[in-house]
Structure 1
Amino acid sequence: MLEDLQTPCLLLDESAVRQNIKGMADRFKQIGVPLRPHLKTAKSIDVARILEEHGADRWTVSTLKEAEYFSSHGLKDILYAVSVSPQKMERVMKLNRSGAQMSICLDSTEMANDLSTMTLDGPPPRVYLEVDVDGHRTGVKAGQQRAIDVARILANASNLEFAGVMAHGGGVSYSADSKQELEAAAEQERTHTLAVKGAILEAGLPCPHVSIGSTPTALFGTSFDGVSDVRAGVYVFQDVFQSNLGMCAMEDVAATVLTTVISHAPHLNRIVVDAGGLALSKDRSCATQSNDCGFGFVSDADGHMDPLIYVGGVSQEHGYITTRDGSPLPFELYPLGTQLRILPNHTCMTCAAYDGYHVINGEHEGAWWPRCNGW
């Protein structure tokens, strides 16, 4: 089957996806806290259906196009987890008018005031105050008066429903290099978010929900007391970066790029493939880790990884495979026309280059599962 595919293209190992989803679902069923899977990694209703099979009934997205796509397929309880802006509100309200239950987030009094004075046609959207738990991205810090000010505006707005607080522990956890550091990052995410909830309650304001999550903090958190739901997404596919963190084994990486050897360059000690920077992405997150994969580790078409080689460089449409230790490449093992698979640094970024997945290793082997790309 693979030999008939035009390369580069995206493969999805269904058996690995199912195992990854089941593992996280079973963990949180035992913990007793609902998962709110983040669909930004897969962007696929076919993958979301597997999540539903394991009990998922609420969702996270990173674009309004995702929200529209998944809502059209019947997924209704959706949190748009990127700070909202006024010009996006009509799309949010259109979703609510069509039967979705949209949640949005923000972190400023300015945006809270803007939204509270808008005329919003439809059921009031739920609004979360975003908390910055690790200096990673957006959000208010615990102890800031701004948290109370924003919460008061939202709680008093007649056209909005104040949902509570949310956070993404994606800073400290993604730089951790031990189980203890990951556990500490997860607990920091939980306690900092709960501290903001506590301050809001002390101010005499409601704070119904606490939503936290990232794949590392979800897998390594030792307590989820006080948490309403947990958001995680990359665990569905995994990648080399997550494997290096200890989230999974390399064989759990479900999405890989199928590529073809198109040239040999013995004088440069490299094999050239037709998957370059656009096909693999130029995310080099693993460069911060001891097990650096360059632009991706390499396996044969059957998924057997060669630990000696990696994609050491890319240009737009060319990938340059060489040895990790500088030893001579065994060119005879990789004749022109050979198909290889590349395991990505960051699966979300790599998958974004493709319209869909060629499914392998599962009940739907040979199927095409489309993705929802764009904004």
Structure 2
Amino acid sequence: MSASTSRPSALIPLPSKEALLEAYNGLPLSALPTPALLLDRSIIRRNATRMAEIAASWDVPLRVHIKTHKTAEGTREMIQPTGKSGRVVVSTLAEAWGLLDAGLVKEGVVEDIIYGLPVSAARIPQLAELRSQVQKDNQKAQVRLLIDNESQIEALAAHDKGQAWSIMVKLDNGGGRAGLPADSPAFSNLLRLIAKTSSQVSLYGFYAHAGHSYDSRQPSEADAFLTSEVQAVIQAASIAQSIFPSASSSHLVLSVGSTPTAHAASRAPSSATLARVQQELPAHCELELHAGNYPFLDLQQLATRAMPNITGASQPSQMGDVTVSVLCSVISTYPGRGTEAGSTEAPPLGEALIDAGGIAFSKDRGPWGGFGHVVYPTELRGWQLGRPSQEHGILTLREGGPAQWEEQWTLGGAAKAREMPRMPDVGERVMIVPQHACMTLAAHPFYFIVDEQPGTTQAKPFEPRVVDIWVPWKGW
């Protein structure tokens, strides 16, 4: 198999980090080209530490999903607070190969990789080559696959090369994405086939991800989604132990989580939830927590109300917990535009044009409206990316008014709380937090890293300087 077929992502040229740093290191945000993806490393570290502490409070390992950032630097930031060799999830083979190229497997920073899609037959030769290289770099390192269909087991058995594949069965605990319900006949049939194919596949455990937990609007709802994940993996393990005897004495890993539900785990130690989980956990089973978006956050995550604030668990996250924003330039304004013909209402402020649109932000939306909210300058809070085109977008006012806006999110230092914002000026810069960080980061070829929250000095929100640049892995 040629390199182009076994690893097509290797053919994608990436920007040189060294050249980028030579061009931009030390520059203030006011001097950067726009649109620019900004990440605050200080907030990433606070958020990553918080999640590591949540996992520690449960006394369970944390598996970090790296699909949001797809970088070596971000992976290190997520794993370092755990104080352990890393368990990771990747969504693409490009991410897995990136971990190898960066030396993280050889160094022992990463020792356990789950390929986060149910495996397709076409991917198996590529995965086999990946596994071979991982084990060359680190004999203790493992590559594991997700399974949710009997045909996947048959394909793995047909590709048998003398080494059994480590697999986890993906569960559907109500989200309707990948996976099987633990109480379905298809799930039991899949387990029976795994038992018959034990020389080609080895059951490592079960994986539940409540992607629909993004629908949470208060902490109790996120807590309920976490409960459903835990119940799903416990039920799956109990069924497995009844179907084939070896499962009763084998070590099974039960992996649960999403960013909302993993944050919900922060409330469990003070309730009966954790005690109940420990009591119901089948023998020889280990619970594991997984999540990915948590170092970065975004408008969708804030709207779940699931996360404890970085200053404590007593209040929901605030905008100061979000590390990702897109720096844009205002390139035109349209005062008064937006008045409907024949309207007797006072004319609106108008609209403005920025140099970033759907490509820079994605077209994901959320419950708070718009495709991104302006956070700086402070006197422009209340504006949103309302109508994105491909490479530019229209700023409009958010629905409601200042009182409603403050109910959605707040950020310290607002100069004129509960007052309407002014009209943007042509040529000024705005920082906009996106609805969905994962989709937004995927659009950018590199990320500008600062190490202090932009806008801490309200009068000069664009003075923080670039301290690093991260180049994400691209392709599949």
TM-score (norm 1): 0.91
Aligned AA for 1:50? E
Aligned AA for 1:151? L
Q: In the alignment, is residue 261 of structure 1 matched against residue 330 of structure 2?
A: yes
Partner of 2:58: 31
Give the Cα–Cα distance (whole angstroms) in 1 for the partners of residues 376 and 218 of structure 2: 31
Aligned AA for 1:210? L
Give, in angstroms, the shift of residue 145 of structure 1: 2.4
Is the Cα–Cα contact under 8 Å of residues 192 and 244 in structure 2 kept in the other structure?
Answer: no
Partner of 1:142: 182
* Aligned partner of 2:371 among 282, 295, 302: 295
Q: In the alignment, is residue 104 of structure 1 matched against residue 145 of structure 2?
A: yes
Post-superposition CA distance 1:112-162 (Å, at most 9, x none)? 1221222337x4331111110013301111222222222232243322222
The Cα RMSD (Å) is: 2.1
Aligned AA for 2:124? M
Partner of 2:440: 350
Q: Secondary structure at the match of 1:88?
A: helix
Aligned AA for 1:107? D
Is the Cα–Cα contact under 8 Å of residues 293 and 311 in structure 1 kept in the other structure?
Answer: no
Aligned AA for 1:295? F
Give, in angstroms, the shift of residue 366 of structure 1: 2.7
Q: Secondary structure at the match of 2:63?
A: coil
Partner of 1:71: 100
Give, in angstroms, the shift of residue 72 of structure 1: 2.6
Q: Secondary structure at the match of 1:36?
A: strand
Give the Cα–Cα distance (whole angstroms) in 2 for the partners of residues 214 and 101 of structure 1: 22
Is the Cα–Cα contact under 8 Å of residues 134 and 189 in structure 1 kept in the other structure?
Answer: no
Bigger radius of gyration among the two: 2
Give the Cα–Cα distance (whole angstroms) in 1 for the partners of residues 94 and 376 of structure 2: 35
* Aligned partner of 1:235 among 286, 294, 308: 294
Partner of 1:86: 121
Q: Secondary structure at the match of 1:42?
A: coil
Post-superposition CA distance 1:225-264 (Å, at most 9, x none)? 3453111001110001111112222111111111000011
* Aligned partner of 1:114 among 155, 171, 182: 155
Is the Cα–Cα contact under 8 Å of residues 48 and 78 in structure 2 kept in the other structure?
Answer: yes
Partner of 1:45: 72
Give the Cα–Cα distance (whole angstroms) in 1 for the partners of residues 33 and 167 of structure 2: 44
With 200-209 and 33-42 compared, the bigger mean Cα shift is at 200-209
Is the Cα–Cα contact under 8 Å of residues 380 and 422 in structure 2 kept in the other structure?
Answer: no
TM-score (norm 2): 0.73
Q: In the alignment, is residue 196 of structure 1 matched against residue 236 of structure 2?
A: yes
With 35-44 and 104-113 compared, the bigger mean Cα shift is at 104-113
Give the Cα–Cα distance (whole angstroms) in 2 for the partners of residues 71 and 104 of structure 1: 17
* Aligned partner of 1:244 among 303, 318, 322: 303
* Alignment of structure 1 residues 269-348 onto 2, 5 Å: 269-284=350-365, 286=366, 289=367, 292-300=368-376, 304=378, 306-325=380-399, 330-331=422-423, 334-348=424-438
Give the share of equivalent positions with the same residue, in percent. Answer: 31
Rate the CA distance shift 1:364–1:326 in 2: closer, same or farther, 3 A: closer
Is the Cα–Cα contact under 8 Å of residues 29 and 465 in structure 2 kept in the other structure?
Answer: no
Partner of 1:22: 49
Give the Cα–Cα distance (whole angstroms) in 2 for the partners of residues 342 and 215 of structure 1: 21
Rate the CA distance shift 1:263–1:329 in 2: closer, same or farther, 3 A: farther
Rate the CA distance shift 1:326–1:144 in 2: closer, same or farther, 3 A: closer
Give, in angstroms, the shift of residue 326 of structure 1: 7.7
Q: Secondary structure at the match of 2:291?
A: coil
Is the Cα–Cα contact under 8 Å of residues 156 and 165 in structure 2 kept in the other structure?
Answer: no
Number of residue equivalences: 364
With 221-230 and 40-49 compared, the bigger mean Cα shift is at 221-230
Q: Any runs of at least 4 consecutive aligned residues in structure 1 with deviations exceeding 6 A, and if so which?
A: 326-329
Q: Secondary structure at the match of 1:237?
A: coil
Aligned AA for 1:256? S
Give the Cα–Cα distance (whole angstroms) in 1 for the partners of residues 385 and 218 of structure 2: 26
Give, in angstroms, the shift of residue 177 of structure 1: 1.9
Q: In the alignment, is residue 152 of structure 1 matched against residue 192 of structure 2?
A: yes
Partner of 1:13: 40
Structure 1: which 5+ residue stretches go unaligned? Answer: none
Q: Secondary structure at the match of 2:117?
A: coil
Post-superposition CA distance 1:181-229 (Å, at most 9, x none)? 2111110111022111111111124262211110111111333534531
Is the Cα–Cα contact under 8 Å of residues 96 and 125 in structure 1 kept in the other structure?
Answer: no
Give the Cα–Cα distance (whole angstroms) in 2 for the partners of residues 305 and 200 of structure 1: 58
Give, in angstroms, the shift of residue 61 of structure 1: 0.9
Is the Cα–Cα contact under 8 Å of residues 126 and 162 in structure 1 kept in the other structure?
Answer: yes
Q: In the alignment, is residue 209 of structure 1 matched against residue 253 of structure 2?
A: yes
Q: Secondary structure at the match of 1:343?
A: strand
Structure 2: which 5+ residue stretches go unaligned? Answer: 1-27, 105-109, 136-140, 269-273, 308-316, 338-349, 402-419, 453-463
Aligned AA for 1:330? R
Post-superposition CA distance 1:262-313 (Å, at most 9, x none)? 01111421011001011110001x1xx2xx1401010226xx4844211111
